[in-house]
Structure 1
């Protein structure tokens, strides 16, 4: 088992494009595809209740990662599986093939040539790496500790929410996060430090099938 930090895990990747993609998807996993209700914000509460109904959500995704220093945008796509009882699985198809599995216990990164894993509790970033699962499980303390809700609007035809970081760790990474959707999350825009940004588009969201596929189960088994 590799006893290295998450940042060392990511920076150990040889291919720069692959490193950028996996790093961003890890941060998205940290943020989650849901938001937690604030006790004094009915709009946020309504959004959260809608998004937390499903135990399994699958979607196709496209990520557009803009690096201001290089004046370049990295585009990647693939599929995502969120399983409340297991964790989140990112299966990247283009421009590189890789799997990223995040659970309460482990972070696993697998490519055709490499395999790395780390115990969450052995990393100084343990609270960050598990925040996604905390959010989807409805841990209201996670949001109040790390984010301020700038605005939140809900209607039957769609919703949107804007967050700014509160914790020192997230302030080093993000300036603002905007999310919008209807039944599920459709779009997340992250304004990052150094004028970088990430846009994630989710399509073809579904809760079918209700059980893990053989492929999903095999990948989640890697993080047992």
Structure 2
């Protein structure tokens, strides 16, 4: 995945904003520094129209080389493979494939790929940096969409973490939200096992 420094037009920013950009850049570079991250996740999807919250959990593998593999354990078992080109959902009996550029759901899936990768270039292209807080090893970033597609789907993204990304909240339209919490993060093992590699090959 491509990483690198972005040329910011400093004349557009106040002194405070420039400090925010510098802090955000250091955070994104920190996230981009780790090529493989493994973690447990819990996702809560709140639907205000239904007055319900749907919870799922499992394990996630992020690989800068391949993409993100969500291995959902509850409430159902399924694998969700996300790359820059494809989104594949696989169960024991079924498999569906989607071109991420042809679906808004694919765009959301790749958003998580960009956040976990610290993909500064793509994030700056698609989002406005609203605020950054950094206190020793802990940090928080608030983003709002500038890309038209993301604007249709949600109003704000909150992310926080330390060495790794710990917490993401998507503030969606109509008061809905998606919250993902990561725990037990580890950069080891770096190498994919046979099953993980086979799943990523489905999305080539």
Shorter-chain TM-score bucket reads: 0.7 to 0.9
TM-score (norm 1): 0.76
Match of 1:95 in 2: 75
Structure 1, 37-46 or 207-216: larger mean CA deviation:
37-46
Match of 1:138 in 2: 119
Instruction: Supply the distance in 1 between the matched residues of 2:54 and 2:112 (Cα, whole angstroms).
Output: 24
Q: Report if the CA contact (8 A) 2:156-2:170 is conserved.
A: yes
Instruction: Supply the distance in 2 between the matched residues of 1:130 and 1:188 (Cα, whole angstroms).
Output: 14
Residue 76 of structure 1 pairs with residue 76 of structure 2: no
TM-score (norm 2): 0.83
Instruction: Supply the distance in 2 between the matched residues of 1:186 and 1:46 (Cα, whole angstroms).
Output: 17
Residue 183 of structure 1 pairs with residue 176 of structure 2: no
Q: Report if the CA contact (8 A) 1:38-1:44 is conserved.
A: no
Instruction: Supply the distance in 2 between the matched residues of 1:202 and 1:134 (Cα, whole angstroms).
Output: 16
Residues 48/126 of structure 1: CA separation in 2 closer, same or farther (3 Å cut): same
Match of 1:155 in 2: 135
Residues 130/38 of structure 1: CA separation in 2 closer, same or farther (3 Å cut): farther
Instruction: Supply the distance in 2 between the matched residues of 1:161 and 1:134 (Cα, whole angstroms).
Output: 14
Secondary structure of 1:54's counterpart equals: coil
* 1:5-57 deviations in Å (ceiling 9; x for gaps): xxxxxxxxxxxxxxxxxxxxxxxxxxxxxxx9784411101111111111101
Tell me the C-alpha RMSD between the 2 structures.
Answer: 2.3
Task: Number of aligned residue pairs: give it.
Answer: 187
Match of 1:47 in 2: 27
